[in-house]
Structure 1
Amino acid sequence: MLNRFGKFGINIVYMSTLNGKNILVTGATGLVGSHLVETLLEIKGANIVCLVREKNPTSYFYAQKFDEKVTSAYGDLADKERIFNIVTKYEIDYIFHIGAEAIVPTAFINPYETFTSNIMGTVHVLEAARLSPRVKGVIVASSDKAYGKNCHNATEDNPLAGDHPYDVSKSCTDLIALSYFKTYGVPVTVSRFGNIYGPGDLNMNRIIPGIMKSIIAGETLELRSDGTFLRDYVYVKDVVDGYITLAEKIDIAKGEAFNFSSGHNFSVLDLVSKVGSIVGKDVPYSILNTQKNEIPAQSLNFDKAQRMLEW
């Protein structure tokens, strides 16, 4: 499933619904948000509004100068009134809610901030959508970690059972999003992805950027886990395609959650070996085994997305 649609990984055919629409992207300066904005900029007549908490000149968003092509609305997901005002002022039609605290170790250290951003931030976005007469679709980014430890070949019917701050925040995000559909009819859909990688990821806490940094710097890679953790890795362009597919098919997708997966699972040690082989370098590593609150094995079944969305 990696990069299924050629050079850019995007099925450009499915964009007619978003033509000429006002689109809000939260988390626009992050890895996924930046690549989503890059693709949305190709859509005819689309007006893109990006929620930006603070400017990060090193991010892919600013490096590619996307800020010169979109409307940047500065604010924080924790600010309910600000989110409502943005949705109202710019007459938003579609919302891609990508913004969140996405780093598990950071969430462990800062649970309050994580719950505020990930849970209440989602509530604020959904409230703004509920009160808006224009919003036609809300795509909420969740995670395979919403399933907690019940995440081996998980289907959408698996219980949401996060244990630790990041996992719990995503379990709650899922439930809250779908409650807004069931109770108020807000046209919201939920996406669940695994570990995302791709160009412009400068977060060295993530394994693939960490590997590349070690290779470039000639340093020993420090693995926080014991190296055996299994993860589902999915290319960022395929993630973007999943989000856009959900928006294009919102009449089918609303009120539903969907797993998206590459179908490829690797242990951390396998991944280190594969990346080293691709770049033709040995990657020396040391195992710290200090990682806390991580799930040993995660993989997603994406039959539902294939069946309902033809993804």
Structure 2
Amino acid sequence: MAEDKTLQEVMTRTSLSNSNQMEMLTFRLTDGQLYGINVFKIIEIVECPRRLDRLPYSNPAVRGVVDFRGNAITVIDLARSIGLQPVDFINTLGYLVVCEYNNQLNAFLVSSPEVLLTRSWGDIKKPNGFEAPSLVAIAYDDNQEMVLLLDIEGILSEIVGLADDFDTNLLEQERAFLRGKHVLLVDDSNAALMMMRNTLSQLGMEITEYHSAVRALEDISGRVMGDKLPDFNLIISDIEMPGMDGFTFTRSFRALEGFGGIPVILHSSMSNPTNEMKAHEAGATAFIPKFDPNVLVRQVYSCLSS
């Protein structure tokens, strides 16, 4: 079956990693549109059971919980989460794409998995004027059919909630040290930017946000051309972004003159040792997984105080 082949390919290719490419699994929801998700976040794809244990008082997109390798994980209907008709897994066959985001397992219910695509981050675009709360970018498959890339972090933030408060045991002198420091945040996800902004603003830090690594690098390069001294103390960048990934952004930033002492933190919802190794190889000061506000605050202080 085509689905069986897709499952085998996912299991094989999740071990792959390329600093300037994205492996995506494409799938369809109830509108028939082609959607995509980063393959490196996928643990397994399984058929959805006809019966799910419901969770009372949960978001309507939460269809219940399912046992996965002895763990109860939440099943989120991706179609319903973005305003489409829900997947009818009782009367028709549905599939669960089990993923790890922010050190948490979730099962995303889809109508049907399709094929795996490899695309350069430069081929993944966010067109001008493209604004949708649940989408981050578009790509095209080999038949030139548009693939919509979902903002899974934003969907999770809305449905299950992600904390942005940190423990209050930070010493006052540490808070005073961070107060007024200027940090550049680079991330294509509005939800990720909001969570970082909410956390760091509690420390009194000044924040400048970029939705694109390309735009951030252009602005920083403009400072070099204008012989302007850097007015920021730290960069925190996502890794998986359309147009330019975080590894390429970090290498390009490190090649600029006059910014050698500014730390760069790369973060990702794909919290694996390979990403951490590649982050350091690209010139990052540190790598942290998304999204633990305590880890973020500790790493920010560590980088700025070193």
Higher helix share: 1
* TM-score (norm: length of structure 2): 0.36
Higher strand share: 2
